[in-house]
């Protein structure tokens, strides 16, 4: 089984999908959909032994999750075929559609197409996909393993911009707190030094003039 999970979405809204296997990748696919830019694009996310391929065109996204052993030619051939079938389906439209609104009408089409490509993929579609992969230069590969090595999870595909901004703010607050604490410590040290100096001056004066400093006052008068 090379193709595991396939779907058609309009923006972040999944219209129809088909799954094979027991493991649930819905959170990962939903997060990937939220990261896809509005312009037409093609991208492959790499994670462990799985590849998330997608084609985004005309406001619709065609995504398939496949084993790494499937490569990229066959999954993109599947996506091209899926796109053509969806565009020719009478239920497809450019208007806004609710979540899973086409599951009943187009979900079986995705399932049947996945079965075809998992058992006997059409050779002409594979050849067409190979030509497109050779010609199209904007298909990029995002290695999620590099993100995972920095402690992030593929299930969330965390956008670190907000996190780093929060960390920077916390660092600035911490630095201000440290400076304020150091200032108060310096002020306390200065005040303590003044008190100690006054105490020693009093001790010296008391030795010469008495504890109440009366003798010095009497002698001076």
Q: Which of 71, 24, 27, 23 is nearest to 46 (CA)?
A: 71
Ranges 121-130, 162-171, 182-191, most confident: 182-191
In which band, very low, low, confident or very high, does the pLDDT at 142 lie, cut at 50, 70 and 90? low
pLDDT tens for 151-180 read 444 444 444 455 565 666 667 777 788 788
Q: What is the pLDDT of residue 78?
A: 94
pLDDT tens for 190-200 read 888 888 888 87
pLDDT tens for 57-80 read 989 999 999 988 888 888 999 999
> Judging by beta carbons within 10 Å of its beta carbon (0-12, 13-18, 19+), is residue 176 exposed, middle or buried?
exposed
> Judging by beta carbons within 10 Å of its beta carbon (0-12, 13-18, 19+), is residue 87 exposed, middle or buried?
exposed
Question: How far apart are alpha carbons 70 and 61 in whole angstroms?
Answer: 20
Q: What is the pLDDT of residue 148?
A: 47
């Amino acid at each position: 089984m090379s193709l595991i999970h396939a779907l058609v979405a309009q923006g972040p809204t999944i219209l129809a999908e088909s799954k094979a296997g027991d493991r649930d990748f819905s959170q990962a696919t939903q997060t990937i959909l939220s990261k896809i830019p509005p312009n037409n694009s093609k991208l492959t996310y790499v994670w462990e032994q799985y590849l998330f391929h997608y084609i985004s065109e005309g406001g619709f996204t065609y995504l398939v999750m496949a084993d790494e052993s499937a490569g990229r030619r066959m999954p993109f051939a599947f996506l091209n075929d899926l796109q053509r079938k969806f565009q020719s389906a009478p239920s497809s439209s450019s208007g806004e559609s609710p979540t899973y609104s086409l599951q009943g009408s187009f979900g079986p089409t995705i399932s049947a197409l996945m079965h075809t490509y998992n058992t006997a993929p059409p050779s002409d579609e594979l050849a067409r996909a190979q030509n497109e992969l050779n010609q199209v230069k904007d298909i990029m590969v995002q290695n999620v393993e590099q993100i995972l090595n920095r402690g992030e999870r593929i299930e969330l595909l965390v956008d670190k911009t907000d996190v780093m901004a929060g960390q920077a703010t916390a660092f600035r607050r911490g630095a201000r707190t440290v400076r304020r604490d150091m200032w108060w410590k310096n002020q306390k040290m200065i005040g303590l030094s003044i008190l100690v100096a006054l105490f020693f001056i009093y001790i010296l004066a008391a030795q010469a003039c008495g504890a109440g400093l009366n003798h010095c006052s009497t002698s001076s008068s």
